[in-house]
């Protein structure tokens, strides 16, 4: 039994890079380079390494990697909710993109709470994720500094920014809100209400777009805005719709800030025997599951990107 066989007191039993190196008769660093696909390694050695890896069933240790390189392969992704399918779709797309490249999404849920987001950042940033994806720009100053000082590359999702050194991917929520309102105006509706819940920044930006479009058309009436800070739900959509009708009997269209509210509003209208869209038109947002099953159904949307 030679030296290489002597057992350490702490042996984890794990096959290590050094084991592979011995088997392939190269130095450990060559194995490391070969495994990470670093170029500039003799193809013959790469092949020797590959065989040794296979024979020994070698699997790299992520913790040792992270410690030595100061970077893990996890990508921290912070979303407000999982109960809104919009974010589930986003997470699926992120996984489909990252995972095959050797990165793993690490999901954190903020519940639209900046304090919770801050806590998640404090917990996960020390893991030195390879990247960070956050939702929108609404966060605590402390969170902003945590991100900046961590040095972890950060991309903002679901909103856009033109600020320098800020990466973002999304669309203008305000423009989208204005476009929806404009569409209703073009269909001939004049008393267009806006029903919203959650009141997160993106909802408020859509509200801003709604106002902009109506003011431009000279049709803006603040009484037609019904905002609730409650979490969005079908039940709330129904209640908002009933309140709206009671407060403004002359309303002829409703722009719900999210599809679940719209679904609830539509079901309430069905219950109350109010014809849609003859008596009142309804518009939703985000094309959530089930909207195509309503009575009347929402029109088909263009297929989502990145599906």
Instruction: Kindly identify the residues of this chain, within the stretch 71-90, that bind a second copy according to CB under 8 A.
Output: 72, 82-83, 85, 88
Which of a second copy, DNA, none does residue 85 bind to, with CB < 5 to 8 Å depending on kind? Answer: a second copy
Q: Does 198 bind a second copy (CB under 8 A)?
A: no
Token pair belonging to 232: 């969005």
Cα-to-chain-centroid distance, residue 277: 33
Min dist. Cβ of residue 125 to a second copy (A): 9
Considering only residues 271, 275, 301, 306, which one is a binding residue for a second copy as defined by CB under 8 A?
Answer: 271
Taking CB under 8 A as the binding criterion, the range among 165-173, 176-184, 245-253, 261-269 that sits at the site for a second copy is 261-269
* Residue 95 burial (CB count, 10 A): 16
Considering only residues 1, 59, 302, 305, which one is a binding residue for a second copy as defined by CB under 8 A?
Answer: 59
Long-range CB contacts (within 8 A, 24+) of 278-281: 279/252, 280/245, 280/251, 280/252, 280/253, 280/254, 281/184, 281/187, 281/189, 281/252, 281/253, 281/254
Q: Does 150 bind DNA (CB under 7 A)?
A: no
Min dist. Cβ of residue 57 to DNA (A): 12
Return the closest-CA partner of residue 225 out of 216, 238, 233, 206.
206
Dihedral sign computed on CA atoms, order 132, 158, 262, 287: negative
What binding mask, one character per residue, do residues 98-117 give for a second copy by CB under 8 A, x or -? -x----x-xx-x--------
Considering only residues 47, 51, 69, 301, which one is a binding residue for DNA as defined by CB under 7 A?
Answer: 69
Which of a second copy, DNA, none does residue 30 bind to, with CB < 5 to 8 Å depending on kind? Answer: DNA
**110 phi and psi, to 5 degrees?**
-95, -15
Return the closest-CA partner of residue 120 out of 129, 111, 128, 110.
110
For residue 287, is it left (φ>0), alpha (ψ between -120 and 50) or beta?
left
Which of a second copy, DNA, none does residue 11 bind to, with CB < 5 to 8 Å depending on kind? Answer: DNA
- Supply the DSSP symbol for 196: E
Which of a second copy, DNA, none does residue 29 bind to, with CB < 5 to 8 Å depending on kind? Answer: DNA
Long-range CB contacts (within 8 A, 24+) of 30-38: 35/60
Which of a second copy, DNA, none does residue 263 bind to, with CB < 5 to 8 Å depending on kind? Answer: a second copy
Q: Which is nearer to a second copy, 289 or 301 (CB)?
A: 289
Report CA Rg, the chain: 27
What residue ranges bind a second copy (CB under 8 A)? 12, 59-64, 66-67, 70, 72, 82-83, 85, 88, 91-92, 95, 99, 104, 106-107, 109, 123-124, 126-128, 233-235, 238, 260, 263-264, 267-268, 270-271, 289-290, 292-295
What residue ranges bind DNA (CB under 7 A)? 8-12, 14, 16-18, 26-30, 32-33, 35-36, 40-42, 44-45, 58, 60-61, 64-65, 67-70
């Amino acid at each position: 039994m030679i030296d290489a066989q002597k057992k350490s007191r702490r042996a984890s039993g794990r096959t290590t890079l050094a084991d592979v190196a011995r088997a392939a008769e190269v130095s450990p660093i060559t194995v490391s380079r070969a495994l990470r696909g670093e170029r500039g390694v003799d193809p013959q050695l790469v092949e020797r390494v590959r065989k040794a890896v296979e024979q020994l069933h070698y699997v790299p240790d992520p913790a040792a990697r992270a410690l030595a390189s100061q970077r893990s392969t996890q990508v921290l992704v912070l979303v407000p909710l999982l109960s809104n399918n919009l974010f589930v779709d986003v997470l699926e797309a992120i996984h489909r993109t990252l995972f095959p490249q050797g990165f793993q999404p690490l999901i954190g849920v903020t519940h639209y709470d900046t304090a919770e987001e801050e806590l998640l950042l404090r917990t996960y940033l020390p893991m030195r994720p390879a990247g960070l994806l956050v939702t929108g720009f609404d966060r605590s100053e402390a969170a902003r500094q945590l991100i900046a000082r961590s040095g972890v590359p950060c991309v903002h999702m679901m909103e856009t920014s033109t600020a320098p050194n800020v990466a973002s991917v999304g669309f203008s929520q305000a423009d989208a809100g204005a476009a929806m309102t404009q569409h209703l105006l073009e269909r001939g509706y004049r008393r267009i209400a806006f029903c919203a819940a959650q009141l997160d920044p993106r909802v408020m930006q859509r509200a801003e777009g709604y106002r902009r479009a109506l003011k431009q058309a000279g049709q803006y009436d603040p009484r037609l805005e019904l905002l609730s800070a409650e979490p969005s739900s079908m039940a709330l959509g129904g209640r908002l719709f009933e309140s709206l009708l009671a407060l403004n009997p002359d309303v002829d269209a409703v722009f719900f800030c999210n599809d679940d509210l719209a679904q609830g509003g539509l079901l309430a209208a069905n219950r109350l025997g109010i014809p849609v869209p003859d008596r009142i038109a309804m518009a939703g947002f985000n094309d959530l599951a089930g909207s195509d099953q309503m009575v009347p159904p929402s029109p088909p949307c263009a297929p989502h990107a990145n599906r």
